[in-house]
């Protein structure tokens, strides 16, 4: 249940897509994420090959003889993220999430570059600074989103499971936590 919750939160905050993995386990995004990061990934015999024969596997990967991840699933996620990024750039859709912040960062950086070229005199330091600035590509935005999916979903689910187990096991701590949450809500929520 916590794994579904973590996946829903990450899909919403990074890809800008609201899914309910408990109600819609057959959602295409959820299926493809599961193939790349989930239980299906861990059942992949290629993962075992990497651990048992790392040099042989790296040779196969370098020569593009073998792929570790499902190429159709990565293709779907890549295509979906490209579509989301283009919607955000064209201002067809706005959502306060990770992708929107990355797109806004690109636009602000481009505006800053335009302002600097109009105002600044050409000197050596300014030219070197412009060379150092790097703009994010769609692929880099996608890879950051995938990194959050990979690093965030299981760690969040395990942490929440551990927390729920310990709160259930130590009822006095659970009661203390409930009291603290209730007092904070009373102080900060205007009803």
Backbone conformation region of residue 64, classed left if phi is above 0, alpha if psi is from -120 to 50, else beta: left
Query: Which pLDDT tens digit goes with each residue over 121-146?
Result: 445 556 555 554 566 778 888 788 77
SS3 sequence of the chain: CHHHHHHHHHHHHHHCCCCCCCCCCCCHHHHHHHHHHCHHHHCCHHHHHHHHCHHHHHHHHHCCCCCCCCHHHHHHHHHHHHHHHHHHHCCCCCCCCHHHHHHHHHHHHHHHHHHHHHHCCCCHHHHHHHHHCCCCCHHHHHHHHHHHHHHHHHHHHHHHHHHHHHHHHCHHHHHHHHHHHHHHHHHHCCC
Which residues, other chains included, contact 34 with Cβ-Cβ below 8 Å and sequence gap of 6+? 40, 41
The Cα–Cα gap between 105 and 175 comes to 44
According to the model, what pLDDT value does residue 16 have?
79
For 38, list phi and psi in degrees, rounded to 5.
Answer: -90, -150
66 vs 3, residue with greater confidence: 3
According to the model, what pLDDT value does residue 178 have?
95
Query: Which pLDDT tens digit goes with each residue over 154-187?
Result: 888 899 999 999 999 999 999 999 999 999 999 8
Query: Which pLDDT tens digit goes with each residue over 35-56?
Result: 777 666 667 777 777 778 888 8
The Cα–Cα gap between 185 and 179 comes to 10
Answer positive or negative: Cα dihedral of 3, 8, 11, 12. negative
* pLDDT band per the 50, 70, 90 thresholds, residue 118: very low
Q: Quote the pTM value.
A: 0.63
According to the model, what pLDDT value does residue 182 have?
94
Residue 76 has pLDDT above 60, yes or no: yes
Query: Which pLDDT tens digit goes with each residue over 89-112?
Result: 888 778 888 888 887 776 666 565
């Amino acid at each position: 249940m916590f794994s579904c919750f973590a996946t829903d939160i990450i899909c919403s905050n990074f890809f800008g897509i609201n899914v309910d993995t408990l109600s819609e386990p057959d959602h295409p995004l959820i299926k493809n994420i599961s193939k790349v990061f989930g239980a299906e990934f861990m059942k992949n015999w290629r993962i075992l090959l990497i651990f048992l024969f790392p040099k042989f596997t790296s040779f196969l990967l370098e020569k593009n003889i073998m792929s570790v991840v499902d190429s159709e699933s990565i293709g779907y996620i890549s295509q979906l993220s490209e579509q989301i990024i283009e919607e955000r750039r064209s201002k067809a859709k706005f959502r306060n999430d990770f992708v929107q912040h990355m797109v806004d960062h690109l636009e602000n950086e481009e505006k800053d570059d335009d302002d600097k070229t109009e105002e600044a005199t050409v000197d050596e330091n300014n030219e070197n600074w412009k060379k150092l600035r790097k703009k994010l590509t769609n692929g880099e935005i996608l890879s950051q989103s995938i990194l959050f999916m990979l690093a965030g979903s299981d760690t969040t689910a395990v942490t929440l499971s551990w927390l729920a187990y310990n709160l259930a096991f130590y009822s006095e701590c659970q009661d203390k936590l409930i009291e603290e949450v209730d007092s904070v809500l009373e102080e900060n929520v205007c009803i």
